[in-house]
Amino acid sequence: MAIAQIVEISSIIVFFIGFYGLITSRNIIKSIASITIMEMAVIVFFLGLGFLDGMNPPIGAAVENAADPLPQALVLTAIIIGVTVTAVNLTMLISLTRQIKSTDWDNVKNTSSE
Amino acid sequence: MIPVFLLLWIGSAVLLVREKRAVRLIIILGVYSLISAVCFFLLAAPDIAMAEVVVSAFSTILFIVCFEKYYSNVAPDRKPRRKARAGSRLIPLAFTVILAAAVILLIPEQAPPTYLKDLYMSRFSGEIGGENAVTAIYLGYRMYDTLFEALMLLVSIVAVVHLSHHDDEAVSVETPSGVSDSNIVGVTIRVLCPVLLLLSVYLVANGHISPGGGFHGGVVAAAFFVCRYMIYGITDMRINNVLVMEKIVYLVIVVFSVYFIILGAHSYLPIPKGIFLTVMNLLLGIKVACGFFIVFYRFIAFERR
């Protein structure tokens, strides 16, 4: 099996591990961590597209057998966006815990129905 | 080498999803991010690996601050958990496995086309300048992406500031955080501070010829300000000036990049091409540093209300 396929399949597996954590966890902190897992999996999938064993980083004008620089430039911005998404999520969590005094999704449901 | 780290990566993700306690969850998340960074490096992407390392350190700090608040707010006597039914774990698991299998079967057989890669790799050095193809793409060929990414950063910082409203006066008279009480930590941070600043200047100044750039340098500079906060407190920093400065820098980025890339001044003005990349990296670094420091400040201010 080619290395690109191994990378793609394992990144899809990790993406769905994060998905499972997102739909089953009761703890809100774990849900936020699951979103981070899914982001990393997408990034690895992008980097694995078209990757061949023994490729060099795309640095230097005359580098031979370089990896594709386009997905790298695209996911570089996605990483910075990812951490700000985490920050917004955590801020919302802090405001929420001030009101419901808990980090359990069940209590969120109870509060909103009242 | 790559399959070994991919296995470790999958294992840490499974550990993370199965973990119940919040403290261990945060630590495993840090380990997971570190293994991801190693995977990025092995996949010939040192730029991404470096960004992931600096960013994951920052997000771990945010998680820890949030965790501190979680335990200061949640009452210790929690009600006993409901007993889980047998199907409540099995149905989501089966659903996830079916979805994953369907997506794995949908992966196309042939490799993606390399037309753009060949084009960029053969021409970036002459058209945009520098040695780093990734920097040349995100500051040259794909400038729009970077502009909108910076806009996203601005918007999410506005969201953080909006969601964490608090009284500015109450914060500005606070004493420094308790970290400086510890002698070891205080001395270590004092030694680390100049090194961090030097690293961030190095990353920004060499972003166009080696791995690094404005984003990485900006996050490291924000870490410098975080360390400075830990030593001296926030009494001497005016956060509103930082907020205004970030917006002004974003405006300068937009004007500068429109003038150079979209109007084509880059090709006929007699300045060296590396200068343009360095100035853009510097502006992006200032913007990212301001943004991340505001996020950290809001978290801390939120904490000490």
Yes or no, beta carbons of A73 and B46 under 8 Å apart: no
How far A67 CA lies from chain B's nearest CA (Å)? 6
Q: What is the 3-state secondary structure (H, E, C) of A45-79?
A: HHHHCCCCCCCECCECCCCCCECCHHHHHHHHHHH
| Helix (H) or strand (E) run with residue B157 in it | helix B143-163
Average pLDDT over residues B128-153: 85
Task: State the Cα–Cα distance between residues B14 and A21, nearest whole angstrom.
Answer: 9
Yes or no, beta carbons of A57 and B46 under 8 Å apart: yes
- On whether both B13 and B156 belong to a single domain, the answer is no
Q: Are B296 and B61 in contact (CB under 8 A)?
A: yes
- On whether both B254 and B156 belong to a single domain, the answer is yes
- In percent, the amount of chain B with pLDDT more than 70 equals 83
- On whether both B62 and B168 belong to a single domain, the answer is no
Signed CA dihedral, B113, B119, B125, B130: sign only: negative
- On whether both B62 and B152 belong to a single domain, the answer is no
pLDDT in tens, B50-63: 999 988 888 888 88
What pLDDT score was predicted for residue A37? 92
Query: Does residue B277 carry a pLDDT above 90?
Result: no
User: To the nearest whole number, what is the mean pLDDT of chain B?
Assistant: 81
Fold of A3-113: Helix Hairpins (1.10.287)
Which of A96-100, B174-178, B265-269 comes out lowest in average pLDDT? B174-178
Range picked from B29-38, B88-97, B175-184, B266-275 for highest mean pLDDT: B29-38
Task: State the Cα–Cα distance between residues B23 and B68, nearest whole angstrom.
Answer: 10
Cβ-based contacts of B153 with chain A (< 8 Å): 80-81, 84
Task: State the Cα–Cα distance between residues B294 and B237, nearest whole angstrom.
Answer: 11
Cβ-based contacts of A34 with chain B (< 8 Å): 16-17
- On whether both B186 and B302 belong to a single domain, the answer is yes
Token pair listed for A44: 């690895």
- Residue A56 phi/psi, 5° resolution? -100, 155
Q: Are B174 and A112 in contact (CB under 8 A)?
A: no
- On whether both B155 and B270 belong to a single domain, the answer is yes
Cβ-based contacts of A48 with chain B (< 8 Å): 43
How far A113 CA lies from chain B's nearest CA (Å)? 19
Residue of B nearest to A54 (CA): B44
Torsion of CA B268, B269, B275, B279, to 10 degrees: -100
Q: Are A111 and A99 in contact (CB under 8 A)?
A: yes
Q: Is residue B177 part of a domain?
A: yes
Task: State the Cα–Cα distance between residues B227 and B187, nearest whole angstrom.
Answer: 11
Q: How many domains does chain B have?
A: 2
Query: Does residue B295 carry a pLDDT above 50?
Result: yes
pLDDT in tens, A58-75: 887 777 788 888 888 888
- On whether both B149 and B249 belong to a single domain, the answer is yes
Q: Are B26 and B64 in contact (CB under 8 A)?
A: yes
Range B172-177, long-range pairs (CB < 8 A, 24+ positions):
B172/B234, B172/B235, B173/B235, B174/B233, B174/B234, B174/B235, B174/B304, B175/B233, B176/B229, B176/B230, B176/B231, B176/B232, B176/B233, B176/B234, B176/B235, B177/B229, B177/B230, B177/B233, B177/B300
Residue of A nearest to B141 (CA): A70
Token pair listed for B251: 């405006």
Token pair listed for A85: 């998404």
What pLDDT score was predicted for residue B170? 46
* Residues in CB range of B260: below 8 A, 6 or more apart: B266, B276
Q: Is residue B172 part of a domain?
A: yes
What pLDDT score was predicted for residue B175? 47
- On whether both B148 and B279 belong to a single domain, the answer is yes
What pLDDT score was predicted for residue B12? 93
Torsion of CA A91, B250, B144, B206, to 10 degrees: -100
What pLDDT score was predicted for residue B275? 82
Yes or no, beta carbons of B215 and A76 under 8 Å apart: yes
The closest CB to that of A94, out of B19, B149, B302, belongs to B302
Domain extent for B19: 1-74
Signed CA dihedral, B114, B115, B118, B124: sign only: negative
Q: Is residue B44 part of a domain?
A: yes
pLDDT in tens, B41-88: 998 888 899 999 988 888 888 888 888 776 666 655 455 555 666 667
* Residues in CB range of B94: below 8 A, 6 or more apart: none
| Single pTM value for the model | 0.87
- In percent, the amount of chain B with pLDDT more than 90 equals 19
Q: Is residue B84 part of a domain?
A: no
Query: Does residue B111 carry a pLDDT above 50?
Result: yes
Q: Which of B292, B303, B145, B305 is nearest to B220 (CA)?
A: B292
How far B257 CA lies from chain A's nearest CA (Å)? 17
Of B134, B160, B216, B290, which to mutate for an interface test with A (greatest number of A Cβ within 10 Å)?
B134
Q: Is residue B91 part of a domain?
A: no
Cβ-based contacts of A3 with chain B (< 8 Å): 2
What pLDDT score was predicted for residue A113? 47
What pLDDT score was predicted for residue B118? 83
Residue after which a domain boundary falls, among B74, B105, B124: B74
pLDDT in tens, B159-194: 888 887 655 444 444 444 555 567 787 788 888 888
Residue after which a domain boundary falls, among B25, B59, B74: B74
* Residues in CB range of A107: below 8 A, 6 or more apart: A100
What pLDDT score was predicted for residue B81? 59
Q: Is residue B116 part of a domain?
A: no
C-alpha R_g of chain A: 19
Q: Is B21 left (phi over 0), alpha (psi -120 to 50) or beta?
A: beta
Yes or no, beta carbons of A84 and B152 under 8 Å apart: yes
Cβ-based contacts of B104 with chain A (< 8 Å): 9, 12-13
- On whether both B47 and B155 belong to a single domain, the answer is no
What pLDDT score was predicted for residue A11? 92
Average pLDDT over residues B246-263: 85
A80 touches chain B (CB under 8 A): yes
Query: Does residue B304 carry a pLDDT above 80?
Result: no
Q: Is residue B28 part of a domain?
A: yes
The closest CB to that of A59, out of B7, B55, B210, belongs to B210
Residue of B nearest to A26 (CA): B20
- On whether both B162 and B274 belong to a single domain, the answer is yes
Position B141 confidence tier, pLDDT thresholds 50, 70, 90: confident
What pLDDT score was predicted for residue B32? 92
- On whether both B146 and B66 belong to a single domain, the answer is no
Residue given tokens 């909108």 in the structure block = B148
- On whether both B162 and B241 belong to a single domain, the answer is yes
Query: Does residue B225 carry a pLDDT above 70?
Result: yes
Q: Is residue B104 part of a domain?
A: no
Position B31 confidence tier, pLDDT thresholds 50, 70, 90: very high
Cβ-based contacts of A107 with chain B (< 8 Å): none
pLDDT in tens, A17-62: 999 999 888 888 889 999 999 999 999 999 888 888 878 888 877 7
What pLDDT score was predicted for residue B173? 42
Q: Are A67 and A57 in contact (CB under 8 A)?
A: yes
Q: Which residue has the higher pLDDT, B177 or B250?
A: B250
Q: Between the CA of residue B234 and those of B193, B227, B274, B296, what are the distances in Å? A: 16, 11, 37, 11
Residue of B nearest to A82 (CA): B55
A109 touches chain B (CB under 8 A): no
